[in-house]
Amino acid sequence: QHILEGKNISKHFNQTIALDDVSFEVKKGETLSIIGTSGSGKSTLLRTLNRLIPISGGEIKFRGQNIQEIPEIELRRQIGYVLQEPALFPHWTVEKNIALVLQLCNWPKDKISERVEALLNLMQMPHAKYRKRYPSELSGGEKQRIGIARALAAFPDLVLFDEPFSALDPITKGELQQEVIRLKDKLNTTSIFVTHDVKEAYLLGDRVLILNQGKAIQIGTPEEIRNHP
Ligand code: ADP
Ligand code: ADP
């Protein structure tokens, strides 16, 4: 039932304690928001969860299995990652940028084309109109839609969002937030959403984890946190 479990996670960078005994779990279909001020350990926590950085102590289990034991290619397929800057290859079309992920998963060509078309349509970027565009021909919001499409491409069991909308103007940000809500209803995605925007955390999270100087000082539904601040 738990897609992800973090048990007593700690992370030190030399003298800096970035994460200090953090425990939590994420259920299937749930969105967990992580909030905290700059330097509280949000990005570090997210990066330990997909093994981009090793932990100093504790344990992370993904679908019941210690993430240390999961082969790299499986982990990359099963955990989608959305960054603040989508880092699309500038000389590749939108279509090719998304297809790359599926090529790495050894999908057959015809299945890849079908999937890319479905993903563009899912993100409300009509395939016929957008497939041949280059990243420089997209707005910031459109680029981030491609970032999300790419993260969802191989049907991941978990999607990690690292402050994905903080570089966008308020209107585009609002649209993308609604998009994330719509995707969750439609696909029952399980996700972790890191943000420093408290409103956004409460809007998108079924539960919210508050980090402060590397410690999880509170975790609960927005309701529970409002009632016991
Ligand atoms: P947040 O995402 O909440 O802003 P971070 O996870 O980036 O916080 O950082 C948490 C703490 O860990 C900070 O004190 C930061 O300086 C430190 N830190 C993060 N990454 C590194 C690193 N690669 N080397 C040394 N210290 C780091
Ligand atoms: P799991 O049970 O581990 O989640 P899946 O049954 O979803 O794995 O997928 C098994 C393999 O088939 C994976 O390598 C995946 O990339 C590939 N795959 C999944 N869905 C499709 C699809 N619609 N078309 C082509 N390949 C797919």
Instruction: Tell me, in angstroms, the distance from the centre of ligand 1 to residue 108's CA.
Output: 40
Per-residue confidence of the chain (229 residues) as pLDDT tens digits? 799 999 999 999 999 999 999 999 999 999 999 999 999 999 999 999 999 999 999 999 999 999 999 999 999 999 999 999 999 999 999 999 999 999 999 999 999 999 999 999 999 999 999 999 999 999 999 999 999 999 999 999 999 999 999 999 999 999 999 999 999 999 999 999 999 999 999 999 999 999 999 999 999 999 998 887 7
Distance of CA 55 from the midpoint of ligand 2 (Å): 29
Tens digits of per-residue pLDDT, 103-140?
999 999 999 999 999 999 999 999 999 999 999 999 99
CB 152 within 8 A of CB 80: yes
- Taking only the tens place, the pLDDT of each residue in 26-44 is 999 999 999 999 999 999 9
Distance 16 CA to ligand 1 centre (A): 8
Is 210's C-beta closer than 6 angstroms to any atom of ligand 1?
no
Q: Are 53 and 5 in contact (CB under 8 A)?
A: no
Instruction: Give the whole-angstrom CA distance, residue 34 versus residue 101.
Output: 26
ipTM: 0.67
| Ligand 1 nearest-atom number relative to CA 43 | 2
Pocket flag, ligand 1, residue 135 (CB < 6 Å): no
For ligand 2, the distance from its centroid to the CA atom of residue 100, given in whole angstroms, is 15
In sign, the C-alpha dihedral spanning 15, 25, 80, 167 is: negative
> Vertex 50, ends 122 and 82: CA angle to 5°?
35
CA dist., res. 125 & res. 141, Å (int): 11
Centre of ligand 1 from the C-alpha of residue 216, in Å: 15
In this structure, the number of other CB atoms found within 10 A of the CB of residue 137 comes to 12
Q: Which ligand places an atom closest to the C-alpha of 46?
A: 1
Index of the ligand 2 atom closest to the CA of residue 115: 23
**Closest residue to atom 24 of ligand 2, CA basis:** 111
* Pocket flag, ligand 1, residue 65 (CB < 6 Å): no
